[in-house]
Structures are given as C-alpha cells and as structure tokens.
Amino acid sequence: MEVKTEKPKSDATGVLKRIAGPVVTAVGIDAHMYDVVKVGNEELMGEVIKIQGENIIIQVYEDTSGIRPGEPVINTGLSLAVELGPGLLTSIYDGIQRPLSVLVDKMGDFIQRGVSAPGLDHAKKWEFKPLVKEGASVGPGSIIGEVQETNIVHRIMVPPNVKGGVVKSIRAGSYTVDEVVCTLDNGAQISLMQKWPVRVPRPVNEKMNPTVPLITGQRILDGLFPIAKGGTAAIPGPFGSGKTVTQQQLAKWSDAEIVVYIGCGERGNEMTEVLTEFPELEDPKSGKPLMERTVLIANTSNMPVAAREASVYTGITIAEYFRDMGYDVSLMADSTSRWAEAMREISSRLEEMPGEEGYPAYLAARLSEFYERAGRVKTLAGSMGSVSVIGAVSPPGGDFSEPVTQNTLRIVKVFWALDAKLSQRRHFPAINWLNSYSLYLDSLHDWYDKEVSPEWNAIRSWAMEILQKEAELQEIVQLVGSDALPEAEQITIEVARMIREIFLQQNAYDAVDTFCDMKKQYDMMKAIRQYSDLAYAAQSAGVTPQQIISVKSKNDLPQIKFIKDYKPALDKIQAEMDAEFNALRSAA
C-alpha cells in the first residue's frame, strides 16, 4: 500500500465566505478532502471536511471568534499528519500533536490561538546506532537502527510509504530528527522522523489472533474478564462510577511496553492529576518513571471541538507507530463518547441529515474503523507487535441503549460494565460481574493453563458460578430473608460474599493492593475455594451454618490484600482454617 504524505502543491489561496463557530466556508481554493488549511489572517489550523461545488467547508482546530469573511485561506496540500520519531515518549500533546509544554512557553498558561508547534523537538540531537550495514537490502518498515529514547529503545524504520532498496550509506552518530541518517540506492533518504497521515491506518504484514492476555494487575479484569494483547475493550459507565480511576489503573499497571493515553474532551483537573501523577509513578518493571513509556494526549472539554475529533486519530497513529517497532502498546481513549459528540457537533454545523439522537449516520462506521486499528500483528519488519484499545464510553443518563454504547458493543470483545450502584456502596473497582463479559476466554485458555496453573480455568468458572448463584439467591433473600434459605445455600451466600469482598474489591490507593499479579490472584482465589470446600464438607457433617460462617481465621483473609509478602500470612490462615474446621467437625 502506498500513501503519499505530500500531494502535488496547488498554490491555492482563497477567501473566507462564512464563519459559524468551528465550521467555516471558503471559496477560491482547489482542495482535496482532509487537506490541512490555514484559515484567516492568524493562520488558524483547519481541515477540509466537505466540498460542495465552489464551497470548501473547513473544520477549524482553534477558536474562530473575530474572524471575518474575506480573510485569506491557504491550502497546504497536506493531510493532517503526525510527526513520528524520537521525542514522542514523555510528551504531552493537544489533539493535533502540539506539545502542551511548548504552548505554555509560547503563549502562557491559557490556550491562545494561531500558534503552531511541531510535535517533535527539531533541535535536539539523538544518538543513532545503525543495525544494518551498507549493502544490506531493506524494505518498507524494516528496522535500520535504534535510538535510546528513554529506557525504551526507539527503533528507526524505513517509512512504510518508502520503496525498499539497498542501503547505500548509513552512519552512526548524533543527529536531529531532520538529518538524513541513511540513503538507499533508489535515492530514498531516511531520517529519524517520519510523517504519517492520522486518518490512514499504518500497514502491517499480517493480523494475528490474540492469544496472550494483557495483564493489568486488577483482579476482576485479569481473573474474570481478561483482555488479550491486541484486543478491544469498552468501559461504559455512568458518571461517578469510577471509570476514570479504572482507566488510570490500566494505564499504570498493564504490562504493555508503551502506553498512549488520550484524554478526549475530559476534565482539566483530571488531566492534571494524570499529568502530575504519571511522572512520579514508578514503572513496576523497570523502576523508571512510568512517563518514560507514555505518550499523553490531552484535549479537555473546553478546548476546540474539532481538535477533540482529531485527538483519537492522533493517538492511535502514534500507537501504531510503536507497534510497528515490535512493541505491545495499550491505548486508552477517555472518552469515546466525547469524540462521538464532537462528530455530532460538527455534523450538525454542516447541516447533515442526522441519524439516531442527532449523531451522524456514519457514527457506526467511524467507531468500527477506529477499533479495527487495534490488533496483534506481524509487522512489516517481521516481528510481533500489538495495539490494545480500551475505550471509555459515557452513556448519557447511564442508558446503555444509546447509539455510542450500542455501536461500540457491536465491535469490542470485552465489556467491563461499571455500575454506579456498586460505587455508591464503595465496591471498587465498580465493575459489575454479572453484566461484564470477555470473548477472549477461549483464545486465552491455553495461556492460563500454562502460565498460571492448570487449575485456573476451572477455579475461574467455579467463582463465576457462585456469583451467578448468589444473584439468584439474593432475589429470594429479598423476599424472605437470609435465614429462610436452606443451609447449603446460606454457605453459598457467604462464599460469594467472600469472593466479592476479598477477591473482587481492590483498593487502587493502597500501595500493595493497587497491583495484584496472577500468582497472588490464584492463591487468593484458592484460599476462598478452600474455605468453600471445607464449609460444604462441614455442613454435610452436621455443623450449623452459623458456626461455619463465624470461623475466625477467614476474617484475616481480607488483610492479605495489603501485605506484599503475603505467602507466610496466607499459609498461616489456611492452616488455621483447616484446624478450625477439624475442630468443628469433630465437635459435631
């Protein structure tokens, strides 16, 4: 596949005809769809979104107040593209890849308009180390060298839209992102940076099936509803159900090598929390700041709406670029509903015929195009890489039947149903275990068998069964009270309570409990299983449910969550549990 980032220059300068909010109309330019244009005397950045006879309709990424008809419009002839190269990591961008720190230097604490800022630092020099020799033949996407960017090695690739050939010259040394480090015999010149249009997916060799889970350290996710590397998940949640915290936990703890976090139309103060917290957080694996493997995109709700629409594409293009180097990338988009609303807002300014609830008719197509850019792939260079996409959805009024949630659910494979009721009773993460699902359970079965325990898949099913049973029993309890249940079922209720309170509840703010590896998850679940087995055995031996429920040693189980070297304590509890039940049985 060939993608040209530069089109033939048509030196078109036109004039503005109409301005109505973020959508303006120009005449007198020769433009293609999605060309980037400079609007008005202040040269605000915009993008062509509709061509109607003479009229070129443009969405503007900045505030248009004060712009008048008659001001000039210049077509750059380029598509909206991002700069990809060393310097991406640790960066914080707005929706159109302008570094926010550079914007602060250029225009102060508030976002003003008409300031352009390149995505990468063009003055900084990077130490380039070639990995191929002169005379080697390379193709599109081949890795020719590397740069130690942070603790992450940034692999320098032949851009996918450059024809392959034989390396004519390649030099180690210190370069800016613009300097040529390698030339091919066909004349192609390769620098540390490449540009890629954000609305075009980067090509891959082959899409593979996802068979490895993305470990997040969150028990309800890894244990019950796992997402695969290269998979897609949706977190729909009414406001106040802990969606943002869940997403931030994922960004912090998931075992992806690169994290791209898109704050799309969200709260400024929450972005600040991310921006101040990430640099301080330690990556559990490398011990380095988490920021060193992170790219943040922050387009808060009061920043221009067109840039919000673009932010999602900017983010996924950056994610794909790191995937092409052979990394596992996880991308969080918070929130795709805000993105869809940006589409709706622009669509309504275009006076397009609305679809459901005023959303444009192409909503479903745009959503599926976006999620389809996720995946575990064999890259052009032949290595394995993945982009996992976790999109938050904010259904208005918590109503899951609304178009954005529904269209998202048709595409994604994992659904983590946040539940305001659970968060009200401070059950965190407030993910409803009955409504959530993961369609990756089968493809990940073997991995859990091999890497965790051959017993894991069975114990997971057991836990789900108990929880399901509890839901049915609760309906009866609601009517007649818990004492009226048969003895065995009273025990089921107690075991389910333990699964909920011990296993499912997890404290994101506790230094230890915030991350729980698979080994510990397995050990915890096994301890609950042990209690359950002993309890049913005791009950059939004639011990009363009251006695079983008031077994003392199990009260210490919740504390295991907060202990780092939990094994001795857990062993002790399990031994005591055995002893207590032995005593009960012999007394009965």
Identify residues 134-173 at the interface with another protein (CB under 8 A): none
From the list 136, 178, 239, 486, which residue makes contact with another protein (rule: CB under 8 A)? 239
Give the integer Cα–Cα distance in Å for 74 and 38: 5
**Residues 285-304, mask of contacts with another protein (x by CB under 8 A):** -------------x-xxxx-
Distance of CA 465 to the CA centre of its chain: 30
Give the integer Cα–Cα distance in Å for 50 and 33: 7
- The residues in 23-42 that bind another protein, with binding defined as CB under 8 A, are 25
Sheet holding 165-170, edge to edge: 137-138, 165-170, 180-184, 189-191
Provide the 8-state DSSP code for 160. Answer: T
CB of 411 to another protein, least distance (A): 22
Q: Is 53 in the site for another protein (CB under 8 A)?
A: no
- The residues in 339-368 that bind another protein, with binding defined as CB under 8 A, are 341-342, 344-345, 348, 351, 354, 357-358
* 83 phi, psi to nearest 5 deg: -90, 125
Give the integer Cα–Cα distance in Å for 72 and 40: 5
* Terminal alpha carbon distance of the chain: 76
Distance of CA 430 to the CA centre of its chain: 18
Q: 């695969």: which residue's tokens?
A: 228
What lies within 8 Å, CB to CB, of 383 at 6+ separation is 326
CB of 76 to another protein, least distance (A): 22
CB of 103 to another protein, least distance (A): 6
**Residues 93-132, mask of contacts with another protein (x by CB under 8 A):** -------xx-xx---xxxxx--------------------
Give the integer Cα–Cα distance in Å for 486 and 489: 5
Give the integer Cα–Cα distance in Å for 160 and 204: 9
CB of 425 to another protein, least distance (A): 4
Question: Which is nearest to 315 in space by CA: 118, 47, 119?
Answer: 119
CB of 77 to another protein, least distance (A): 26
Q: Is 573 in the site for another protein (CB under 8 A)?
A: no
**Residues 174-213, mask of contacts with another protein (x by CB under 8 A):** ----------------------------------------
**Residues 409-428, mask of contacts with another protein (x by CB under 8 A):** -----------x--xxxxx-
CB of 111 to another protein, least distance (A): 5
Q: Is 275 in the site for another protein (CB under 8 A)?
A: yes
Total of residues contacting another protein (CB under 8 A): 80
Give the integer Cα–Cα distance in Å for 189 and 156: 13
Instruction: Note whether 181 and 174 are within 8 A (CB).
Output: no
Amino acid in position 27? V
State whether residue 164 is helix, strand or coil.
coil
Q: Is 479 in the site for another protein (CB under 8 A)?
A: yes
CB of 97 to another protein, least distance (A): 14
CB of 344 to another protein, least distance (A): 5
Q: Is 480 in the site for another protein (CB under 8 A)?
A: yes
- Is the Cβ of residue 11 or residue 483 nearer to another protein in the bound state? 483
Is-cis flag, bond preceding 429, omega within 30?
Answer: yes
CB of 182 to another protein, least distance (A): 34
From the list 276, 454, 475, 568, which residue makes contact with another protein (rule: CB under 8 A)? 276
